[in-house]
Structure 1
Amino acid sequence: MVQERVRVERRLSAILAADVAGYSRLMHNDEEATHAKLTALLAGGVEPAIAQHGGRIVKNTGDGFLAEFPSAVEAVRAAMQFQSRINELTCDDAEDRRILFRVGLNIGDIIVEAHDIFGDGVNIAARLESIAEPGGICISQTVFNHARDKVP
């Protein structure tokens, strides 16, 4: 008996993976304040930038999030905008309490479900995020090729 494969939705997307640098340490120091501050930063800095640039947050991971965009250029613009805004909102915070995001951006052919995305492109975005500096953005060569000369 031959089993039929279930058809999955796929699409080419720009993928943004982000997490809070030092999240475990921040939560250990003060869970309630960290949670409240992160919630405020997401609402006041991250979510508006992503929406403004045509992206959607696919899922919140507690200490970060995964987003997708139809355009690499808009993904880069969104990341730059919210990183700048987060820096403004946290620049006066004590260093041991400051929330900064690390961001990785990639383009890939992904499998799409209602509340998640999967695939090698997502994994690469997550790896790039893990090597980004706190407050920084690490992009793949493919994203660079698409955004070059279009983003200052």
Structure 2
Amino acid sequence: MTDDKVKRRLTTVLCADVYGYSRLMEADETGTLETLRRYRTAIARLVERHDGRIVNTWGDAVIAEFASVVEAVQCAVEIQQEIASQASNAPQASAMQFRIGINLGDVMVDGSDIYGDGVNIASRLQELAEPGGVVISSSVYDQVHNKLSVGFDCLGQRPMKNIAPLTSYRLTLGGQAPVPGSFGIQNSMLPSERARTPRVDDARAPSSSTNVVLEWLTKLPRPIAAALTVSAFLIVINLLTSHRIWFHWPVAAILFGAAMRMVLGNRPESDSRTER
């Protein structure tokens, strides 16, 4: 009974996969296989350096596990840096890039292999990563966001095949700017990293100001918010189409009408309370 019991443990799983492997093999099978072997050797060396172990190598994928979450993320960063360094001299069309996903979760242990959602989630996160990028689960982020000098972009809850949606984060390596199409942005860089990294918040200032205005309008009574919106529209039209100021008359009428609507709209309610 004891021998048949499934063994489980909490571990950090790193899943790396070659982006566009089929295309690379179709273009040059021999060269692609040689490159893959060279990169796997480099990955194995880095995994060992960070006290991890290679669990499996299925096709062009590499599965590794680590006892330390921080060591796993550091290893992923160094893997991408090492591969980018080796690929710098290769032609762009034949350059090999890996995508990496990291998850901290419970796994089932069978000899030297591990199975379960902990592994599956790491594999799905890898599919969310860009070529040369790293995506981590929220469980990993909670452990490392204040321990490493890297940035994090929150991707929100992305749908994943056969996996319940979970919040994930993209690592921004070397001050890499977020790619268009990302969901929320949540940078958690250390002060030393912020000093070296260009700020993307400045480019987003106009949209932030717009959001503040919209949030302020939503807190106002609906008639007042509508009146202010129409008034602003009339002011813009006046300033863009004519040198003569005429917007004050319609704006005054609109604001007066909104105020009267507010007063008359509240009057029956106060009267009914008085009668009761």
TM bucket normalised to smaller = over 0.9
Query: Hey, what does 1:36 align to over in structure 2?
Result: 34
Query: Hey, what does 2:59 align to over in structure 1?
Result: 62
User: SS state of the match for residue 65, structure 2?
Assistant: strand
Greater relative CO (CA pairs within 8 A, separation 6+): 1
Question: Is residue 71 from structure 1 mapped to residue 71 from structure 2 by the alignment?
Answer: no
Look at both structures and tell me which one has the larger radius of gyration over its CA atoms.
Answer: 2
State the TM-score, normalized to the length of structure 1.
Answer: 0.93
- CA distance in structure 1 between the partners assigned to 2:59 and 2:124 by the alignment: 18
- CA distance in structure 2 between the partners assigned to 1:112 and 1:94 by the alignment: 41
Question: Is residue 53 from structure 1 mapped to residue 50 from structure 2 by the alignment?
Answer: yes
Q: Choose the corresponding residue for 2:113, options 105, 111, 116.
A: 116
Q: How does 1:78-117 map to 2 (within 5 A)?
A: 78-117=75-114
Query: Hey, what does 2:9 align to over in structure 1?
Result: 11
Report the number of matched residues: 149
Q: Which runs of 4+ in 1 moved over 3 A?
A: none
User: SS state of the match for residue 147, structure 2?
Assistant: coil
- CA deviation map 1:53-106 (0-9, x unaligned): 111110001211111100110100100011100000001211221111000000
- CA distance in structure 2 between the partners assigned to 1:132 and 1:31 by the alignment: 25
Structure 1 regions of 5+ residues with no counterpart? none
Report the residue type matching 1:9 in the other structure. K
Query: Hey, what does 2:129 align to over in structure 1?
Result: 132
- CA distance in structure 2 between the partners assigned to 1:4 and 1:91 by the alignment: 53
- CA distance in structure 2 between the partners assigned to 1:32 and 1:114 by the alignment: 33
Q: Choose the corresponding residue for 1:24, options 13, 22, 25.
A: 22
Aligned-pair Cα RMSD in Å: 1.5
Question: Is residue 141 from structure 1 mapped to residue 147 from structure 2 by the alignment?
Answer: no
- CA distance in structure 2 between the partners assigned to 1:101 and 1:24 by the alignment: 13
Instruction: Give me the identity figure in percent.
Output: 42
- CA distance in structure 2 between the partners assigned to 1:9 and 1:87 by the alignment: 38
- CA deviation map 1:92-142 (0-9, x unaligned): 211221111000000011011234211111111111000100000000011
Report the residue type matching 2:10 in the other structure. L
- CA distance in structure 2 between the partners assigned to 1:127 and 1:84 by the alignment: 22
- CA distance in structure 2 between the partners assigned to 1:62 and 1:55 by the alignment: 20
Query: Hey, what does 2:261 align to over in structure 1?
Result: none
Report the residue type matching 2:78 in the other structure. Q
- CA distance in structure 1 between the partners assigned to 2:2 and 2:55 by the alignment: 28
Distance 1:4 1:10, change over 3 A: closer
User: SS state of the match for residue 135, structure 1?
Assistant: coil
Shift of 1:5: 8.9
Q: Considering fraction of residues, name the structure with more helix.
A: 2
- CA distance in structure 1 between the partners assigned to 2:119 and 2:110 by the alignment: 13
- CA distance in structure 1 between the partners assigned to 2:24 and 2:7 by the alignment: 38
